[in-house]
């Protein structure tokens, strides 16, 4: 690990100006995000234009200095980790909305705009980004493209790659990949931009994104329901999704240990008192309210029918925004379980609906066979089968890492699921990619990386 030389720092300073480079106590003054080693490079550049990014990349390529692109640093797979001798290129000063076509429902934005900034801008026009996640206040569109983010609305609008119409990116040799289409149909062969979506910064720096927006649902009603089993939760999902006149917006599931620990840590255990059975699963449902009270009444009728069909044992419908936020806090504050039970292993997997009930039962059995004291904190996006889980004993347990991983990942591929659902590979899942991915695909990925980035300067040692 060799730090950058003074003249290299001066050359980079000449590109972005004195206010566009940080080398002093970077980790002490900037928020390193989820991963403490994100800022270990000690050099952070803040380009403001495409030309800045191009010049940085060209210079770094000529000097064999590797680059770690950063957006909001909310990624949780280690894709933004950096080390001495590298430079971080943070896009957050490139944060404009460059064009917005209200009629077509499209927008072109700089990569550094946060999801929340874009949401605020388009919501007032009755449109939505079509992707939502709890880190919305900090996560950037460039980061979301680069991780192919998913979130709570993926069962309706797909993941990030389904929202992207076009991209602009700076490739590792400094060339601009200019494919900023704003139309759904553009068959100019070959389609290269899907390679950059989800590349976690290994193939280039995304600088602009053209997005296909979706209609914004008018108002939301939120309910928290208790369900006896996963199969019941899935039947409830199907009922809400297919009921005429109801528009299901989000559907999230929490297993009892996850929900109860989070509610306790929030100081709000009473939120879950409506569920009388201690082993109930919890499902949060958001539906569009429409105008007037009819949406709420209709939703309550659907829940009553779900109760009659024994899909739910009880449900509460949020009476106001405060209650709604409280329900969602229990779902979103996933780090509270880690705080109470640190040192756990976390996973982000996808399971096809038809296997979800059996998979989760088998998982609990397998983990408790490994060690009866292990806690399983399980929750996720029910609509698309994406589960997040932490397995923890509240103490270091590295000797169990391989066995636990096998219990979680084993069988996923055969059932058509995935060991890596929405958070990406980064550094944390590189070994798992080799163990649980497809060997032939991995070879193609290595060849693509070599073709894009023969000097291996763009976020090296990530993904591959």
Ligand X SMILES: Cc1cc2nc3c(=O)[nH]c(=O)nc-3n(C[C@H](O)[C@H](O)[C@H](O)COP(=O)(O)OP(=O)(O)OC[C@H]3O[C@@H](n4cnc5c(N)ncnc54)[C@H](O)[C@@H]3O)c2cc1C
Residue ranges binding ligand X (CB under 6 A):
34, 68-76, 79-80, 91, 111, 133-135, 138-140, 142-144, 146-147, 149-151, 200-201, 205-206, 422-423, 426, 459, 462
- Which helix (H) or strand (E) segment is 169 a member of? strand 164-170
E-only strand ranges, 307-344: 314-317
- DSSP string computed for 203-259: S-EEEEEEEE-EEPPS-EEEEEEEESSHHHHHHHHHHHHHSTT--EEEEEEE-HHHH
Closest-CA residue to 431 (of 405, 396, 450, 458): 405
Q: Work out how close the CB of 301 gets to ligand X at its nearest, in angstroms, rounded to a whole number.
A: 30
Quick one: 365 or 446, whose CB is closer to ligand X? Answer: 446
Q: Work out how close the CB of 211 gets to ligand X at its nearest, in angstroms, rounded to a whole number.
A: 14
Q: Work out how close the CB of 201 gets to ligand X at its nearest, in angstroms, rounded to a whole number.
A: 3
Q: Work out how close the CB of 386 gets to ligand X at its nearest, in angstroms, rounded to a whole number.
A: 8
- DSSP string computed for 265-295: HTT-GGGGTT--STT-EEEEEEEE--SSSHH
User: What is the C-alpha radius of gyration for the chain, rounded to an integer number of angstroms?
Assistant: 23
Q: Which two tokens stand for residue 181?
A: 């289409």
Q: Work out how close the CB of 139 gets to ligand X at its nearest, in angstroms, rounded to a whole number.
A: 4
Quick one: 248 or 336, whose CB is closer to ligand X? Answer: 336
- Which helix (H) or strand (E) segment is 386 a member of? strand 386-392
Quick one: 333 or 358, whose CB is closer to ligand X? Answer: 333
Q: Work out how close the CB of 89 gets to ligand X at its nearest, in angstroms, rounded to a whole number.
A: 8
Q: Which two tokens stand for residue 383?
A: 């609509």
Closest-CA residue to 170 (of 19, 60, 77): 60
- Nearest-10 Cα torsion for 86, 92, 94, 98: 140
Query: Which residue sits closest to ligand X, CB atoms considered?
Result: 143
Q: Work out how close the CB of 342 gets to ligand X at its nearest, in angstroms, rounded to a whole number.
A: 17
Residue 127 and residue 435: Cα distance in Å, rounded? 42
Closest-CA residue to 92 (of 128, 48, 56, 124): 48
Quick one: 106 or 459, whose CB is closer to ligand X? Answer: 459
């Amino acid at each position: 690990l060799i730090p950058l030389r003074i003249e290299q720092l001066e050359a980079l300073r000449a590109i972005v100006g004195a206010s566009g480079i940080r080398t002093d106590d970077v980790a002490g003054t900037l928020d390193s995000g989820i991963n403490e080693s994100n800022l270990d490079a000690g050099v952070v550049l803040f380009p403001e234009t495409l030309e800045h990014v191009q010049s940085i990349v060209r210079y770094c390529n000529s000097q064999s200095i590797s680059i770690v692109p950063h957006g909001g640093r909310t990624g949780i797979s280690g894709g933004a980790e950096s080390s001495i001798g590298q430079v971080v290129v943070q896009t957050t000063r490139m944060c404009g909305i460059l064009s917005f076509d209200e009629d077509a429902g499209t927008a072109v934005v700089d990569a550094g705009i946060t999801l929340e900034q874009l949401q605020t801008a388009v919501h007032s026009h009755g449109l939505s980004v079509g992707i939502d996640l709890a880190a919305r206040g900090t996560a950037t569109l460039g980061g979301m493209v680069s991780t192919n983010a998913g979130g709570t609305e993926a069962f309706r609008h797909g993941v990030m790659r389904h929202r992207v119409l076009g991209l602009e990116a700076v490739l590792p040799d400094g060339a601009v990949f200019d494919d900023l289409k704003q139309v759904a149909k553009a068959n100019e062969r070959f389609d290269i931009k899907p390679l950059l979506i989800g590349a976690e910064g290994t193939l280039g720096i995304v600088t602009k994104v053209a997005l296909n927006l979706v209609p914004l649902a008018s108002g939301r009603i939120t309910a928290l329901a208790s369900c006896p089993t996963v199969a019941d939760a899935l039947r409830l999902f199907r009922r809400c999704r297919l009921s005429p006149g109801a528009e299901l917006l989000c559907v999230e599931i929490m297993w009892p240990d996850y929900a109860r620990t989070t509610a306790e840590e929030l100081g709000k255990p009473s939120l879950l008192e409506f569920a009388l059975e201690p082993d109930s699963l919890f499902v949060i449902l958001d539906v569009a309210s429409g105008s007037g009270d009819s949406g709420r009444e209709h939703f309550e009728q659907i829940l009553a029918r779900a109760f009659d069909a024994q899909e739910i044992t009880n449900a509460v419908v949020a009476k106001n925004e405060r209650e709604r936020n409280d329900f969602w806090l229990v779902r979103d504050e996933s780090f509270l379980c880690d705080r109470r039970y640190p040192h756990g292993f976390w996973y982000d997997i996808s399971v096809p609906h038809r296997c979800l009930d059996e998979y989760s039962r088998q998982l609990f059995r397998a983990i408790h066979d490994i060690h009866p004291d292990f806690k399983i904190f399980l929750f996720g996006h029910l609509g698309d089968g994406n589960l997040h889980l932490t397995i923890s004993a509240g103490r270091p347990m590295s000797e169990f890492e391989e066995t636990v991983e096998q219990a979680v990942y084993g069988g996923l591929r055969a059932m058509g699921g995935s060991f890596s659902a929405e958070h990406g590979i980064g550094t944390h899942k590189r070994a798992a990619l080799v163990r649980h991915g497809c060997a032939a695909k991995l070879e193609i990925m290595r060849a693509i990386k070599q073709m894009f980035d023969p000097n291996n300067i763009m976020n090296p040692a990530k993904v591959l």
